[in-house]
Amino acid sequence: MAKTWLITGTSSGLGRVLAERALARGDRVIGTVRKPSALDDLKARYPEQLHVLELELTRTEAIRECVKAAFEHAGDIDYIVSNAGYGLLGAAEELSDEQIEQQLATNLVGSIQLIRAVLPYLRRQGGGRIVQVSSEGGQIAYPGFSLYHASKWGIEGFIEAVSQEVAAFGIDFILAEPGPTETQFGASVNYADPHPDYAGTPADEVRSGLKSGGFKLKGDAERTVDAMLRAIDQTKPPFRLPLGSVAYENIHAALTTRLQALEAYKSEAHSADKV
């Protein structure tokens, strides 16, 4: 049975591939973009299945208007995919106030407000599935990506709580956590102006590696989306979905290290209880 999707950030990357896959299998897609012309080719191929809406994710009222228009157009929507976002690279000290505000407004607040906007509609229709495209960076951290990680760790914490709040309404979530993947993510990264004191530091090495192409991207965008689709189509999907061997290994190592550190501190933790 054909499904209906609302996908943000469909002009490129995983959002674009996901929209293409959904349309190719006969589903209906409402795709949001900042420039509607970015989907002209898909609209020509799927004039009846694809509906394009313009959305600036940093404007909360625009998000609400877009969500309202999507549900008015489609009626019920099965899958909401919060995909739009970008990377910000630079040591924390190098970042400007404007860069910090824009990163959090887009990746964190924008994703939060999108989810908040769709919840009333999903409740009224009796359920639905929200897919948040996070990152391995929602559970691990690279030097130089502090604000990007703040946005991804933040949205994962938000969804951890909200998923418990709305489960009784038949609404569930998937946190998709891809590792380094061949998309246009690197081309859209916003760079801070480098500070000379950070030359040769880990943050600078990551910056140099990304700009030079030395930062290896093992993930394949189409295979990543295929794995996402398999999970999304499940009756009971995984809450967290690591995507790519790099994501799996990095997340596994980070969780193992944190668990070992936690267990080593067990007696001290218990000592803080009332006697």
Q: Is 256 among the domain residues?
A: no
Q: Is 255 among the domain residues?
A: no
Asked if 15 contacts 86 with a C-beta cutoff of 8 angstroms, the reply is no
Using alpha carbons, select from 23, 14, 69 the residue that is nearest to residue 47. 23
Domain of residue 120 covers 4-245
| Residues pairing with 176 in the sheet | 133, 241
Number of domains in the chain: 1
Q: Is 270 among the domain residues?
A: no
Q: Is 253 among the domain residues?
A: no
Q: Looking at residues 93-119, what average pLDDT do you find?
A: 98
CATH of the domain at 178: 3.40.50.720
Q: What is the pLDDT of residues 108-155, one digit of tens each?
A: 999 999 999 999 999 999 999 999 999 999 999 999 999 999 999 999
CA distance 120 to 23: 26
Q: What is the pLDDT of residue 212?
A: 82
Region label for 191, one of left (φ > 0), alpha (ψ between -120 and 50) or beta (otherwise): beta
Q: Is 273 among the domain residues?
A: no
Q: What is the pLDDT of residues 7-19, one digit of tens each?
A: 999 999 999 999 9
pLDDT band (50, 70, 90) for residue 182: confident
Percent of the chain residues past pLDDT 70, beyond the cut: 98
Region label for 26, one of left (φ > 0), alpha (ψ between -120 and 50) or beta (otherwise): left
Mean residue pLDDT of the chain comes to 95
pLDDT band (50, 70, 90) for residue 183: confident
Q: What is the pLDDT of residue 213?
A: 74
Q: Is 254 among the domain residues?
A: no
> In sequence order, what are the residues at sequence separation of 6 or more whose Cβ sits closer than 8 angstroms to the Cβ of residue 185?
13, 86, 87
Record the pTM: 0.95
Q: Is 190 among the domain residues?
A: yes
What H or E segment, with its residue span, contains residue 66? Answer: helix 60-74
Say if residue 227's pLDDT is above 90: yes
Say if residue 186's pLDDT is above 80: no
**Position of tokens 């299998």?**
25
Q: What is the pLDDT of residue 184?
A: 65
Say if residue 96's pLDDT is above 70: yes
Q: Looking at residues 61-69, what average pLDDT do you find?
A: 98
Say if residue 66's pLDDT is above 80: yes
Return the active site residues: 134, 148, 152
Q: Is 203 among the domain residues?
A: yes
Asked if 29 contacts 52 with a C-beta cutoff of 8 angstroms, the reply is no
